[in-house]
Amino acid sequence: MNLIQAWKKGPGPESARDYIILMLKGLCMGVADIIPGVSGGTMAFITGIYDNLIDAIRSFNGAFFKNILKLNIAGAIAEAHLKFLIPLLFGIVLAMVSMARIIHILLESHPVQVWSLFFGLIAASIIVVGKRVGELSVKNVAAGIAGAVFSFILVGLIPVTTPNSLWFVFICATFSICAMILPGISGAFILLLLGKYEFITGALRNPATPENAAVLVVFVCGCAVGISLFSRVLHYFLERHHAVTISVLTGFMAGAMRKVWPWKEVLDSVVIRGKVHVLSEANIFPSAFNGEFGMAVLLMLVGFAAVIILEWVSSARDS
């Protein structure tokens, strides 16, 4: 089996149009990861590729690494879902490289409008994902409420001071990467909560020193271990306890609405390398029902409608 045959064997897009659509979905995930407190996992759910994403992460299994050790590159490519992951990752990276500055500028100059758009997106995604629960039982409702309460409390926590030891960096990496594939919770936000956002981004700015290189290697290893283990745990619960798991994930998104409420009052902040990072804030009602309020409501409706239309198009395509 040659490399081209191995590539074609894996699951993923078949036509050029499918590749473009998957890259666009990756673009949506990348934009979401740029927004503080918004997860790419939410966009994976909205765009209907969440299950595929979990399966693709799980494809880096024992057989894959066994083929790598045997230098059987074709076998490794056939085992991994690279045909799915590469265009998706291309879209994610493209968004982060091209949109990061634009999104941050918009958040600084038009925060209410940006948060309003994402508020509408996530509000609609709660409905879209919630429909996948199926039976509305007491157990499912309780699971959803538990997920919402946990997420609501989590996004309201204040960052703590923690050690810079490599073992703690490893733990932070495992938790933050898990959060990145959970809808409603941001991996960068978890790092900020654990007091390691400044430390890790500082190492990224100057990776050539031995100390920073060690930190980054440990962080990458923690990410690899965390996402590998967590994707399998999540797959197990989605397979064995689908309704309860979807209920919890829906609750996560509902609780995270606290973070994306457009109107906020900053209570405490810190400056990290010239940029202001909010430590704590309170949600407030709009100060006036003027043109800005009308635009915010319009953007909420636009975001809401975009998700509903996207879900309708995806359902029509599948049927």
The pTM score is 0.72
pLDDT tens digits, 62-119: 777 887 887 777 777 777 788 888 889 888 888 877 776 777 677 778 888 888 988 8
Residue 234 within any structural domain of the chain: no
Structural domain including 72 reads 1-109
Residue 32 within any structural domain of the chain: yes
Residue 230 within any structural domain of the chain: no
Residue 104 within any structural domain of the chain: yes
* Highest-pLDDT range among 36-50, 244-258, 289-303: 289-303
Residue 39 within any structural domain of the chain: yes
DSSP string for 60-111:
SSHHHHHHHHTT-HHHHHHHTTHHHHHHHHHHHHHHHHHHHHHHHHHHHH-H
Residue 249 within any structural domain of the chain: no
Residue 54 within any structural domain of the chain: yes
Residue 241 within any structural domain of the chain: no
The number of distinct structural domains making up the chain is: 1
Overall average pLDDT of the 263-284 stretch: 73
* Highest-pLDDT range among 87-96, 128-137, 297-306: 297-306
Residue 89 in tokens: 């990752």
Average pLDDT over the chain reads 81
Shortest CA distance to 140 belongs to which of 274, 252, 243? 243
Does 170 or 310 have the greater pLDDT score?
A: 170
